[in-house]
Amino acid sequence: DFDSKKKRKVAEIYQALNSDPIDVAALRRMAISEGGLLTDEIRCKVWPKLLSVNTDDLPPLPGKELREDNKDYQQVLLDVRRSLRRFPPGMPDDQREGLQEELIDIILHVLKRNPQLHYYQGYHDIVVTFLLVVGDRLATALVEKLSTHHLRDFMDPTMDNTKHILNYLMPIIDQVNPEVHDFMQSAEVGTIFALSWLITWFGHVLSDFRHVVRLYDFFLACHPLMPIYFAAVIVLHREQEVLDCECDMASVHHLLSQIPQDLPYETLISRAGDLFVQFPPSELAREAAQQQAERTAASTFKDFELASVQQRPDTVLRQRFRERLRGEERTKSILTKPRTNRFVKLAVMGLTVALGAAALAVVKSALEWAPKFELQIFP
């Protein structure tokens, strides 16, 4: 029954967290499979592992001086003030206002530390999700890592890379349902209806917070382009509504931009994973007119994922932290290529047996991209 399945899954998650090295492949499998990571308490432990964030070495909380002479402050302030519906209904005003202040500080902190990143409207919808789940200090570290990896393309000076990612939407639809694809092409609807879905990881358009964090479990465990696959399966799920619509841009855009709140999320997550395996980004790149592959987050996902599988469990990190305080020297491990390959291959085999195509894609996709930066192991 459901309760026994949940208990087994919780046990497997904690077993993976306490493995040495941490079994990130298993954590990804748990995040993808039905129900995701189940509770916010578990997310606080697993999300940092999926993003390779060392929870024993978090940055200090940002100070209020960030707001002085900050070019993004006024826009961030306006967006955060408009974010009332992103907080749980019934939350006391003073508590919500306190969280909004923390939200502003987190965003400004990440932007100040990473001047190559540019704020965009909708970014706060992602940050507030992390704030509500893990609290301000851990959210700051997770959002910074996410912003320099999965979200990096949305934070360029221009929207060129964001538009390019949107260009994958129609080729995916065409592979599965040419009739829907041709109808949308005839209506000249384009892909702008999915922009807010993509750049907020659906946080802006879904009213139920449970569904938002479930999708975040999925996206954090997957390739950076998975949100566009999920956008495609939403359109495909609404096939009949689309085909019954007037074939003009205004009508189809209005229909698709109003996302249903009662979607079968688990079914769509599974289908998105299947489509990723059937039609990986590398096969769709030509149709998507990829011009700047070296600049997209997808191009550096291999090294990001390989680094994540070398993390140490929290118990080990805490022990080593205490040793450092006592003044003892610690020996840094060196990542060797054969060991990396062995872990990745084991993860691939484990995912294949346990979940099938969707989970296999999580690790398999990592092998398709050439490394661009040096892998680091937490000491």
**Whole-angstrom Cα distance, residue 229 to residue 306?**
23
Q: Which amino acid is at 216?
A: Y
Q: Mean pLDDT for each consecutive 10-residue tract of the chain (379 residues)? A: 90 95 95 95 97 88 77 93 88 94 94 94 96 95 96 94 93 96 95 96 94 97 96 98 96 95 95 95 79 53 60 61 52 36 38 43 39 28
- What pLDDT score does 143 carry? 97
What is the predicted pLDDT for the residue at 325?
Answer: 56
Top-level class of domain 1-153:
mainly alpha
Mind spelling out the 3-state secondary structure of the chain?
CHHHHHHHHHHHHHHHHHCCCCCHHHHHHHHHCCCCCCCHHHHHHHHHHHCCCCCCCCCCCCCHHHHCCCCCHHHHHHHHHCCHHHCCCCCCHHHHHHHHHHHHHHHHHHHHHCCCCCCCCCHHHHHHHHHHHHCHHHHHHHHHHHHCCCCHHHHCCCCHHHHHHHCCHHHHHHHHCHHHHHHHHHHCCCCHHHHHHHHCCCCCCCCCHHHHHHHHHHHHCCCCCHHHHHHHHHHHHCHHHHHHCCCCHHHHHHHHHCCCCCCCHHHHHHHHHHHHHHCCHHHHCCCCCCCCHHHCHHHHHHHHHHHHCCCCCHHHHHHHHHHHHCCCCCCCCCCCHHHHHHHHHHHHHHHHHHCCHHHHHHHHHHHHCCCCCCCCCCC
pTM summary value: 0.79
- Structure confidence at residue 376 (pLDDT): 30
Q: Which of 375, 336, 307 is nearest to 24 (CA)?
A: 307
Of the CATH numbers 3.30.230.70, 1.10.472.80, 1.10.287.610, 2.40.70.10, which one belongs to the domain with range 159-310? 1.10.472.80
Provide the pLDDT for residue 97.
94
Instruction: Give domain limits for the chain.
Output: 1-153, 159-310
